[in-house]
Structure 1
Amino acid sequence: MTRTDTIARAQTMLRSGEFLDELSRRVAYQTESQNPEKHAALRAYLTDELQPAFKAMDFSTRLIESPAGKGPYLLAEYRESDSAPTVLVYGHGDVVDGMAGEWRDNLDPWRTTQIGNRLYGRGTADNKGQHSINMAALRAVREARGGRLGFNVKFIIEMGEEIGSPDLPQVCERLRDDLKADLLLASDGPRLSAERPTLFLGCRGGIRIHLDVNLREGGHHSGNWGGVLANPATILASAIASLVDSRGRMQLDALKPPPLSNRIRAALADVEVKPMADEPALSENWGEEGLSAAERLYAWNTLEVLAMSSGNIEKTANAIPGRASAVLQLRFVVGTRVDNVADAIRAHLHARGFPMVEVSATQRFAASRTDLDSPWINWTAESIRKTTGKAPAVLPNFGGSLPNDVFTDILKIPTMWVPHSYPGCSQHAPDEHILLSVTEEALGIMAGLFWDLGELKAPL
């Protein structure tokens, strides 16, 4: 069979219902990693669903236990030749809370439901649907080539990504030799848009910053004490405004990345951030001045207020509150100095008259990015263009966070992420879904990539 035949074969898996049946079975596993009562489901997803699927393709498989007692890992390997390229594929089978009862028309999050171009279900976009696409495309190539691939493949599937991949670095460090590969080819997160295939090389990092103002216990009558008691909510709002202004621009240089290089600007020159009709419109005059929307989203840092609390908004009393709290998040790109973020914010607030604001930092994700000189970038982009007829958007990193640093920094391999979802997929929320049109295109893209990988006589 030809490359074109193989791509058609992969896409037929969607039209025939074969792929949807597979995905429906996988969505039915209630693999909520944040729920300790679902530990058995995390294991069953690997042992009862994925291990048989890999064994049917002649992969050897083994379970790796979590050092922290969390969900296990699945390692699957298929080897043909020591001289052929070896690709490592990553995915995660855990999901966030199902949020049953909050979905449109009371849809069951653990059952896939097709409505028009959308397929609803928890994990359809993040990440069961995405690694299922990659597995199906791999199977199509193997069948087209008479049971061979022309390259070696390793999969690592984790069950703790939604709780921050707590021991993935430790596991990969320990399995460094087992996971040795020439390339990571994985899928997670959204495309730039539903219409445009996307390749991203890494991810932004993230740090949660907690600001707390604790002045006194309880509230005090605003008529009797207003004007003579310091208000923690007012202090907190002013402190935040000294960090990020009313147009979302960061005020503290220590939180900003290095200036954008000409190379990054060139990479993003043809990238247009254009929401779909049912996605929120971009805000006018918001974010760092002098940057395009793509540069703000994929090449710059942002400081966002995630939550604020003071008093009781549901039952407001005529009282000055005694406490106020906020949680902010710094999203940052490679090159940002983040080791002393809390100290830098604390010093900034002290200098501006806010010594009463307590500062702490938690939940860190590292920023990482494959070197822009990697030959795998053009190879991957050209394969996608050949399959779809579209020039993919090539992003230095995507806006969210992934454990990409495990692969770039620990395993020392280039990372090519080809996402199969889109920004409006409602991942981590009720109504999570994938688009069937994107899924069909994605099956073709991955079949084309795996076919082209089998054509290489040696790694790039």
Structure 2
Amino acid sequence: MTPHDSSATTFGAELSSITAQLPTAELRECVASNFDATVAELVNLVAIPGIAWEAFDASQLERSAEAVAELVRSTGLDDVQILRVPHEDGGLGGPAVVARKIAAPGQPTIVLYAHHDVQPPGDKGLWDTEPFTAVERDGRLYGRGAADDKAGIMAHIASFRAITEILGDKFGLGVTFFIEGEEEAGSPTFDTFLQTHRELLAGDVIIVADSANWQVGVPALTTSLRGLVDGTVEVRVTDHAVHSGMFGGPILDAPTLLARLIATFHDDKGSVAIAGLHHGGETVVDYPEASFRSDAAVLDGVELAGEGSITSRLWTQPALSVIGMDIPSVDMSSNTLLASARAKISLRIAPGQDPAAAMAAVQAHVQAHAPFGARATFTAGEAGQPFATDTHAPAAQAAMWALGESWGVDAVETGMGGSIPFIANLKATYPNAQILVTGVEDPDSRAHSANESLHLGDFQKAIVAQAMLLAALNDGALG
């Protein structure tokens, strides 16, 4: 790993003066003394299978929200609510837990976001333990939601407890807990929820505890997220299917022409070849190829695509995947020249890219590269904004300090190849808020997969780091 850019970890005299006076040792000791109880509370949360998908028992999601609300009340907050807003179809969205501590005069308000809903367990045969029975083994806690994102909830709660215990009446920050209940279902009512409760959820800094650290023992602040556009490409050749023997030769079938069109999306080196897409700069953090191949389960002999560092290919360059096709299966095939074929594509866009412009670029590319004069159309799907943190902003600088102080090694700035669409909603609704994306996961947490787990040592450090960050913000780190 390349050392973190020293310019991003150089703090001004004012911040250095603030951090030098903070009760870091007391906060660390407080978190440690309560850590077993924190883990026990996390174990209890893991036992609740709160899944926001329609096919699952909605009462468990309600039970999950109630359990989180009770944990927030246990911190001493009385203003705790479970709130929902309606879907477009009239049904209610997932239950979100919202609680507030009002700021003292002149103090900023910090919003602590996490989500209590979890992914379905999937094939239980792939689990080494029961998905909803948390099991500690070799320093890790296994169970669905142990990392994503019930550990994020407990990091917020445990750090808030520590800061209030150590600072007492000197803790003047406003704090708002916002624990969502439908993130794993795509946050379908998130924007409506923000607009409905705009004033209730307003803050100067929003800490989103739903990401990952660089590796076990090395903390990270996620400073960029790729955005997303998707859509469907269709190629049509004839008005209807015809016999492949009688007409094959002069006519190429639609799947073949679709394949030729798909092949134009990348150049010979595997980089996305759609004109008009933004490419960001190189990244500071190195991801050794051997580690990446192991983490991504790449087969021996398969060459990696694209150019530049692996992290730039993951974080600051576009990436296009074909995620579905409509053509007959092999078992249902016949000697027919197919008239049409469709493919759904997913395009991750780099920070700085406008999603509408990216969608237009795909549209233009499809029309310009229709093979053999076939009718090629692109139907736009969903779009999500990318995100980039202003790493020189006071909150980000304070966060980098707190992470490094807690772990005892410099924190790194990392990107995320995937998207967190609701971040764009937060930024649009609160354009002046500083958004910090933190997390408790690591490369082996296996969120969304079987045997999801949490590294308990790094979990404790994450709690300490957030307590230190809150202390710094309390003492004026925002300026």
Is 1:269 paired with 2:269? no
Task: Flag structure 1 segments of 5+ consecutive residues without an equivalent.
Answer: none
2:32 alignment partner, one of 6, 11, 14: 11
String of CA shifts for 1:144-175, please: whole Å, max 9, x gaps. Answer: 33476342211111112123222222322332
- Distance in 2 of aligned mates of 1:228 and 1:195: 62
**Structure 1 residue aligned with 2:225:** 203
> CA 1:109–1:358 in 2, change beyond 3 Å: closer, same or farther?
farther
**Structure 2 residue aligned with 1:84:** 107
Is 1:307 paired with 2:324? yes
Matches of residues 336-375 of structure 1 in structure 2 within 5 Å?
336-354=353-371, 355-375=374-394
Paired residue type of 1:57: T
Identity %: 22
Name the count of aligned residue pairs: 446
| 1:100–1:108 Cα contact (<8 Å) kept | no
**Structure 1 residue aligned with 2:459:** 439
> CA 1:259–1:158 in 2, change beyond 3 Å: closer, same or farther?
closer
Deviates more, 1:3-12 or 1:223-232: 223-232
Paired residue type of 2:284: A
String of CA shifts for 1:23-65, please: whole Å, max 9, x gaps. Answer: 122122222212254333223222x211111112122112222
TM-score by length of 2: 0.84
| 1:23–1:132 Cα contact (<8 Å) kept | yes
SS at match of 1:145: helix
2:409 alignment partner, one of 390, 399, 408: 390
- Distance in 2 of aligned mates of 1:424 and 1:210: 33
**Structure 1 residue aligned with 2:82:** 63
String of CA shifts for 1:379-416, please: whole Å, max 9, x gaps. Answer: 21112112222111113x42221111222221120111
**Structure 2 residue aligned with 1:401:** 419
**Structure 1 residue aligned with 2:398:** 379
Is 1:122 paired with 2:144? yes
| 1:206–1:329 Cα contact (<8 Å) kept | yes
Matches of residues 69-108 of structure 1 in structure 2 within 5 Å?
69-105=92-128, 107-108=129-130
Q: Give how far 1:66 is off.
A: 1.6
- Distance in 2 of aligned mates of 1:220 and 1:109: 50
Matches of residues 308-323 of structure 1 in structure 2 within 5 Å?
308-313=325-330, 320-323=337-340
2:190 alignment partner, one of 157, 168, 172: 168
String of CA shifts for 1:104-156, please: whole Å, max 9, x gaps. Answer: 33x32222122323322221222112222221122122223347634221111
| 1:214–1:322 Cα contact (<8 Å) kept | yes
SS at match of 1:419: strand
> CA 1:436–1:324 in 2, change beyond 3 Å: closer, same or farther?
farther
> CA 1:344–1:425 in 2, change beyond 3 Å: closer, same or farther?
same
Paired residue type of 1:425: S
> CA 1:322–1:119 in 2, change beyond 3 Å: closer, same or farther?
farther
Is 1:151 paired with 2:173? yes
CA RMSD of aligned residues (A): 2.9
Is 1:23 paired with 2:42? yes
> CA 1:343–1:199 in 2, change beyond 3 Å: closer, same or farther?
closer
String of CA shifts for 1:394-440, please: whole Å, max 9, x gaps. Answer: 13x42221111222221120111122102332222222222223223
Q: Give how far 1:239 is off.
A: 0.7
Q: Give how far 1:197 is off.
A: 0.4
Is 1:292 paired with 2:315? no
TM-score by length of 1: 0.87
> CA 1:57–1:357 in 2, change beyond 3 Å: closer, same or farther?
same
Task: Flag structure 2 segments of 5+ consecutive residues without an equivalent.
Answer: 1-21
- Distance in 2 of aligned mates of 1:315 and 1:226: 19
1:49 alignment partner, one of 67, 81, 88: 67
> CA 1:457–1:346 in 2, change beyond 3 Å: closer, same or farther?
closer
- Distance in 1 of aligned mates of 2:257 and 2:130: 44
